Amino acid sequence: MLFTGLLNGIRTNCNTLQIKTPIKPFSALKSMLFRKLGFHTLSRKRTRLKTNTLKKITIICYACIIYFTYIYNVFERPPKTMKDKTIDYCLRYTWQAVIKMYNEQASKYDATMAHAFALLSIDQEEGTPSTALGPRMGMEATSLSRTLKTMEERNLIERKPNPADGRSVLIHLTEEGKRKRLYAKEHVVMFNQSVRDHVSNEEITAFYKVIETINDLVQNKKIYNQEETILK
């Protein structure tokens, strides 16, 4: 489908192509391009006149194939082992996999991982100030506002005035929100228990030790000396 769409786009804009370096296409690709672009219906003389355009299109096709192959190899293909990867790569790759897993589960309940995270972060009894949810969830104000708006539209949360501060509001869970919160909690517990079932207590302890060390180094700015970085 992607390649077909690409060819259709090229056909629409082929008159504006300005590529000077021609190459001889493979016979299979050439045949495909002839069929897709309708060249097989032209006379032999008119087909010869289209050769330069065909070569230009072929160059673009080759470039796109190489580009998408590179993107797949870099971003989509799972690594065979993490041992030869950098620590930040391992953190990012693993967290992206977890996000994908949670979103797949949340989609079964017409929700997202962000919705589930918010449900778990809101106090069920007293509610939670909207200003406290951002730091607790690690979300920017714009993203949080959009998430809360969607959850309110789906009757998962409701806003109530904060009796301790008239300038702010408290986010409370609705009955539907409390029900969805139970589903979210079950999935989080299941994931954590599954991980613990496959690794030893010593490995879990070492994992938390590494995570704590990384957080300490980053949050207390022990990795990069800001003054030295500015001078350089």
Q: Which of 109, 112, 101 lies closest to 195, judged by CA?
A: 101
Average confidence (pLDDT) over 96-103: 96
- For the chain, give the number of residues: 232
Is the model's pLDDT at 54 over the cut of 70? no
Once rounded to an integer, what is the mean pLDDT over residues 20-27? 42
Q: Determine the pLDDT at residue 71.
A: 58
Task: Please tell me the predicted confidence (pLDDT) of residue 83.
Answer: 78
| Residue 130 scores a pLDDT above 50 | yes
Query: Is residue 75's pLDDT more than 60?
Result: no
CATH class for domain 87-186? mainly alpha
Q: What is the tens place of the pLDDT at every residue in 146-186?
A: 999 999 999 999 999 888 877 788 999 999 999 999 999 99
What 81-85 contacts at long range (C-beta under 8 Å, 24+ apart), as own/partner pairs, is: none
Higher-scoring residue by pLDDT: 171, 7: 171
Identify which has the larger pLDDT, 67 or 102: 102
- 3 state SS of 95: helix
Q: Tell me the C-alpha to C-alpha distance, in Å, between residue 87 and each of 74, 77, 80, 146, 208.
A: 17, 18, 15, 32, 14
Report the DSSP beta bridge partners of residue 159. 171
For residue range 119-128, list pLDDT tens digits in order. 999 999 989 9
Q: Would you place residue 141 in the very low, low, confident or very high pLDDT band (cuts 50, 70, 90)?
A: confident
Q: Which of 111, 105, 133 is nearest to 177 (CA)?
A: 111
pLDDT at 227 exceeding the cut of 50: yes
